[in-house]
Amino acid sequence: MSAWTCRRTRRVLEAFHDGELPVEQQVAVQTHLAQCTPCTTERARLAGIGATLREGMSDPMLDDAQTVGRRVLVTLPVVRELSWRRQVALLFDDMHLVWAGMGASAATLVCVAAALGLMRLTLREQPASMKAMIVAMADPGSNRNPLAPDGRLLMPTASLAGMIDPPMLDREDALVAFAAVVTREGTIRNLELLLQDAGQVPVGARAIGALFDAVSQTRFEPARALTGAPVAVNMVWLVAQTRVRGKTMTLVPMPLAVPVGRSRSTPTSRAPGLTEFPADVSTARV
């Protein structure tokens, strides 16, 4: 152990005098004092102050001082409670603690902000998460886990108030299949085009969009289980549009007299008085 300097000794001399140093420092200071007269003199001054306070006072003064000490112990908590200004001043009495407290507060705020951010991220429901899948599987017939329609279900029907007539497709013959989920509330979800067959020219995207818009806006009476509870079901719709070209017969007046010598009627491949008028007046939709 290296010998202590006077400067180092003076810094802890009071604590040494009061017996508040650790043992190794106490020994080091004692060793230094044994060979340093100025430090010994300084220590004697410290001791003199205490001795003067204790011994130099008369007994009444000593009693009074002790009474003061006890009174301080009793009244100080009250003073502390009453004087908020004193409390604030004490907060900044030791700046080391102030800086440490500010650092700790800042770190705490950062931690709280990080925790809140994580909570916000984790609380956001992820449809593809394991939890969401388990919840959906545990509730068949919910909007996330629709049922396949079978004989035990009352199929959904379009309500009259919410029925929208599907628009015509832009091809004469077309076949469009699409799937959707009719939810418990009777709305359409997850509308998906499965098939379109319109010959060589496909149905235009605008016509498909108009069809989907009409279907999406339609309100259904939801499918119901045997218990009467509404359930969500997967549905597939098939829209087939066929234009049927027909012939319209028009009756034309004919003379009643038949010339003699001529057959009354001559069957022809074409009936007289019938005129063909091509018309595409009817469209069958399924």
Give me the residues that bind another protein (CB under 8 A), please. 14-15, 18, 20, 44-58, 61-62, 65-66, 68-70, 72-73, 76-77, 80, 90, 93-94, 96-97
How many Å apart are CA 181 and CA 134, to the nearest integer? 20
Tokens of 255: 């003379």
How many Å apart are CA 68 and CA 109, to the nearest integer? 44
Strand stretches in 128-184, DSSP E: 157-158, 174-182
Tokens of 171: 């091809």
In angstroms, give the least distance from the CB of 64 to another protein: 9
Q: Could you report how far apart the first and last alpha carbons of the chain are, in Å?
A: 105
In angstroms, give the least distance from the CB of 94 to another protein: 5
Q: Of the two residues 43 and 171, which places its CB atom closer to another protein in the complex?
A: 43
Asked whether the beta carbons of 241 and 171 are under 8 A apart, the reply is yes
Tokens of 182: 């009719």
Specify the amino acid at residue 272. Answer: P
How many Å apart are CA 179 and CA 146, to the nearest integer? 12
